[in-house]
Amino acid sequence: MTYRELYFKLEKQKTKYLNTTAIKTILQDDGGFSDFFNLIRHFDDEIKDIKKIEDNIARVNNGEPLQYVLGYAFFVNSNYVVNEDVLIPRQETEELAVGTLKTIIKMFGREPKIKIVDIGTGSGVLGIYLKEYFPNSTVICTDISENSLKIAKINAKNHHVDIDFRQGDMIEPIKDESEVSVVVSNPPYIGDESTVDPQTLKYEPHLALFASPKTKYYEIIMSLIDSTVLSDKHLLAFEIGEDMEDELTHIIETKYKGIMYKFEKDIYGKTRFLYIIKDEGITYAA
């Protein structure tokens, strides 16, 4: 059977989870094609492993996320290994990565030699992405989950970057650090299970999803502001829940009155990012 024949056969058998994107991606994966254009170029080639494709289709139809089925997820400009021990990187986290990159350049230049910490790294995407762009900087990635760090280490090796991985809860692994210039994090921030998509709730690690109260981990990370860990000039960059602006504003204005901060919206117009900056040479975050 050719890719063309199977593609149009599957298009007639689409389900809630086996949509056109999933079909294209599964076929691209079989042939090792980088995108749909390259698949089209080989549309009349014979399929390499029909049994594997059938197994993948069955798993996707059963509700398992496509990224876990294939064993990787795309993030900004490359693939990263993922499994059930780590969250699947979302578009919002891609936006956080790019926003943090731009703010670092604004604050520290294009070739900074600074210390960057990614807290709750999961699959390692944020820390690895920043290390790739700022190779002269030191990047520390922390996570409470040993299994998550195993995946992150694989991704660091695949991306040929040197990362300092540390296991521990939130800021505990960096409590003795100093001169940290950048902290980036996408911490757990969901307070109500009923708001979570059933597929996510079933397959993705709850440890990386839920917090009570929702602001719990932001408050822990923000406590670094009063510590000796951060350098005089520093950036804290967060992904946040779309309904958290008021709560986080109250915390900042109450505990860190006078500090510079800015909320940013994602491409859907939802407030999704928080940048806290200490830098006399800059008056805005993005």
Q: Using the 8-state DSSP alphabet, how is residue 120 labeled?
A: T
Residue 244 class from Cβ within 10 Å (0-12 exposed, 13-18 middle, 19+ buried)? buried
Q: What is the mean pLDDT of the chain?
A: 95
CATH architecture, range 91-278 = 3-Layer(aba) Sandwich (3.40)
So where are the chain's domains?
A: 3-63, 91-278
Which single residue is written with the structure tokens 């691209």? 28
pLDDT digits (tens, 9 = 90+) for 31-83: 999 999 999 999 999 999 999 999 999 999 999 999 999 999 999 989 999 99
pLDDT digits (tens, 9 = 90+) for 194-210: 889 999 999 999 999 99
Token pair listed for 43: 């549309």
User: Residue 226: in which H helix or E strand, if any?
Assistant: none
pLDDT digits (tens, 9 = 90+) for 114-126: 999 999 999 999 9
pLDDT digits (tens, 9 = 90+) for 246-259: 999 999 999 998 89
Q: What is the mean pLDDT of residues 123-136?
A: 98
Residue 202 class from Cβ within 10 Å (0-12 exposed, 13-18 middle, 19+ buried)? exposed
Q: What is the mean pLDDT of residues 260-276?
A: 97
Token pair listed for 51: 């049994």
The span from the CA of 121 to the CA of 186, in Å, is 8
The span from the CA of 138 to the CA of 62, in Å, is 42
Q: Measured between alpha carbons, how far is residue 22 from residues 19, 141, 152, 191 in Å?
A: 5, 31, 25, 30
